[in-house]
Chains A and B, each alone.
Chain A
Amino acid sequence: MTWFTRRLRRLAPQLAALAIILGIISLIAPGFLTISVQNGRLYGSLIDILVRAAPVALLTVGMTLVIATRGIDLSIGAVIAICGAVAATLITDGYPLPVVIAVSLGVGIVCGLWNGILVAVLDIQPIIATLILMVAGRGIAQLITEGVILTFNDDTFAALGSGALAGIPIPIYLWVGTALIIGLLMRRTALGFLIEATGINRRAASLAGVRARFLLFSAYAISGLCAAIAGMIVTADIRGADANNAGLWLELDAILAVVVGGTSLNGGRFSITASLIGALIIQSINTGILVSGFPPEFNLIIKAGIIIVVLTLQSPAIITLFGFIKASRRSDKLNHGTKEATR
């Protein structure tokens, strides 16, 4: 039970923020919270949020690990484009679905390992190292699609983006499943612990025998893998690979989700669950603005405004301020009490 309460306390700010945002949207847009079943499939804005959140949520899982090692991965938006292009090309060439999926995932992992080499072996700063693939990646994707938007017509692959299983859309299975597997991998093995130690103090961890390089490699490889899954969902959803726009700026949403989730950019203690709630907050804002009927040109401004509020509430300055108010109230009570006593 103490474990549960500790978890709840850790996640409380993110859960509260999500609840408040959903509450506000439901006030503005009636019917926002209703979920209906049509043709054996769940429909509704909430379901839509869970489906649309899939790419960012997947990126967020990998990004959380990379940030925990005190790094950052700017390349994952471009990796979405690369893996999407690879998948679309293989589909149009008539390869069977398992091959398409395996090769796309493999390409994602290779992209991650490339970043791993730059960061762990060559000791390049992560922001620069991953910037290389961020820029080059879209070029690579364009070469693969030969500069066109490569469309295909394969219903089984398209189901990854728009299909449903037992009434629940498949993208939800994909991101929840990936997050569960990686979350368990981190906490049931010692990977999570060792990644945290490396992120907090790489030198001290290395001197204690922690293989920091291997851990950096695995974090970036997992990040690439998550981007590959996201790339297939995005490609399957629109039945085509758009090298220029697939996953564009999504890495920034993922970084934001991790920050909203409360994992420090200085590395160290991380929570995949909190980051995922952060991703849901971002997607709720996106969907909420859409269903609220605001003119779309306000979208980005409103999103930025809400995120400033969320981050301000989490900022150390505000937390100290609240602590100060609490403490001064307590001392007021105390003073009051002593006055009573002296009377």
Chain B
Amino acid sequence: MSAPHALLEARGIGKSFFGISALEDVDFTLEQGEIHALLGENGAGKSTLIKILTGVYRRDRGTIYLEGNEVSPDDVAAAQALGIGTVYQEVNLLENLTVAENLFLGRQPRRFGMIDRHTMRDRSKALLARYGLDIDVDALLSSYSVAIRQIIAIARAVDLSGKVLVLDEPTASLDANEVKGLFTVLRQLREEGVGIVIITHFLDQVYEIANRVTVLRNGRLVGSRAISELPRLDLISMMLGRELQHITRDHQAEPETIDDRGAPSIQFQNYGKKGSVAPFDLDIRPGEVVGIAGLLGSGRSETAFLLFGIDRADSGTATIDGEQVNITSPEAAIVNRFGFCPEERKTDGIVGDLSVADNIVLALQARRGWMRPISSSAKRELADSFIKSLDIRPADRERPIKFLSGGNQQKAILARWLVTEPRLLILDEPTRGIDIGAHAEILKMIERLCSEGMSLIVISSELEELTAVAHRVIVLSDRRHVAELSGRQLTTDGIIRAIAGTGETEAA
């Protein structure tokens, strides 16, 4: 069977949504009997690539070869018939059916036109036995744990397809023992010659099980390497961008001036929440930009949720100008003049059916309370002035915000907070999914805002962006604040080392 061709090969894959490119010229090669990890931050294009390979999306450009033959799966069923099976993060099985019914759904063995339950049961037993699973196949799927459901899903996918198995975040909700069991199954499938693609953000697991990694970043291919010749440090720098190198910044000469800004105006002490972020200290001075760096799942957004009162801290205190405050809800945070631009713009940011003007005044109106409405002339003026100063396009304040591009939506959300004149603005991935022009404008605006005395917390997976705008960067790993870099230490190189540092000690 050792053919000269790779098992699955994709060349020059491109895909864009509504004019915004999600994947550009990406190559991907999967060999037979290989576990291949696909890595990248949120929005890197992992899911898009997987969905193209498994027939969920149609690609705009590029070719896919399976065992040397060009294929073009139009939908999931076609991909399955070709031999490409997928197990998604939320296991795609039916909880209210039995295990056997799930395994044979849509292809139940029949006898005289009726479903042959005996055969189905026996074949289900035999199928699961291959994975070392001896369970009652007539019990409802919902009576089993997620880990067992996952193996059932894998068993179904391999039985249906058998050549390529794609796993999207399979370990996200499993405990250590269950992960071990899953990996045993995966190794066995590798022995049998199945090609496995696995998406995960646990680097330890990548080193434990994968033969090869492919890293995507911002919709482009960063590289594909054998895991044995890829140190962890290099892998992290591939994911976060930039080869290890020192970048000189304009900020480097000015750490003294930052200290000159005087005492911190906002202090969080021993602030944390069990299961979310370990307790940390954070002091913020007026006009300072504090960056937060870390890999996906390291507790970046969770830190923002704590600071803005979306999650309640269960330890520590928050102090503003020397007075202790309780930030137990977003309302409380807003009363203390905090603002927060969330990462998930569509679900957490915009109010889609309302106009741009309504979206811009929403936070201000909420703070004033319902009895003190903003007059329509004041609303018009506020909206128009921010549409102008942030260059929101189209410059039509009455247009429902859902019809704007991502970058312009983001600017409108920024405007929503700027009208409230916050003392601290938290930006979670402010430039994600935004075209280059808007990207630069938003960075410029961050600099202008802090020169006007507003404090900023910027969370980003773009390290160049952080080193360019932040005075200090806090590095998170494994839901802990592990390092704080400033002055000359503040380089992409330094951040990557800080992230990798803890990772390596843990692995050791």
Contact = CB atoms under 8 A, between A and B. Distances in A.
Contact of A209 (B330, B352, B374): B330
A190 B351 contact: no
Contacts of B365: 190, 193-194
B416 A208 contact: yes
A198 to B, nearest CB: 9
20 contacts: A189-B370, A190-B368, A190-B370, A191-B370, A194-B370, A197-B354, A197-B358, A200-B353, A204-B347, A204-B349, A205-B362, A207-B310, A207-B340, A208-B366, A209-B330, A209-B333, A209-B367, A211-B331, A215-B370, A268-B354
The 4 A-B pairs at the shortest CB distance, nearest first, are namely: A209-B366, A209-B334, A190-B373, A208-B363
Interface string B118-155: 00000000000000000000000000000000000000
A207 B330 contact: yes
Contact of B347 (A203, A215, A268): A203
A190 B308 CA distance: 24
A200 B308 CA distance: 22
Given A200-B354, A206-B330, A210-B362, A193 B416 contact: no
Nearest to A6: B398
A343 interface: no
Given A189-B371, A201-B347, A208-B363, 16 more contacts: A190-B365, A190-B370, A190-B372, A197-B358, A203-B347, A203-B348, A204-B349, A204-B350, A205-B366, A209-B330, A209-B334, A209-B363, A209-B367, A215-B370, A268-B353, A269-B354
Contact of A204 (B333, B351, B370, B374): B351
A207 B373 contact: no
Classify the interface of chain A: helix, strand, loop or mixed: helix
Interface of A: 188-191, 193-194, 196-197, 200-201, 203-211, 215, 268-269
Interface string B425-449: 0000000000000000000000000
Contacts of B407: none
Contacts of B348: 203-204, 207
B146 to A, nearest CB: 24
Contact of A201 (B334, B350, B363, B372): B350
Contacts of A211: 331, 366
Contacts of A189: 370-371, 373
B286 interface: no
A206 B354 CA distance: 15
A269 B358 CA distance: 12
Contacts of B352: 200-201
Contacts of B340: 207
Contacts of B350: 201, 204
Contacts of A206: 330
B347 A210 contact: no
B347 to A, nearest CB: 6
A207 B426 CA distance: 12
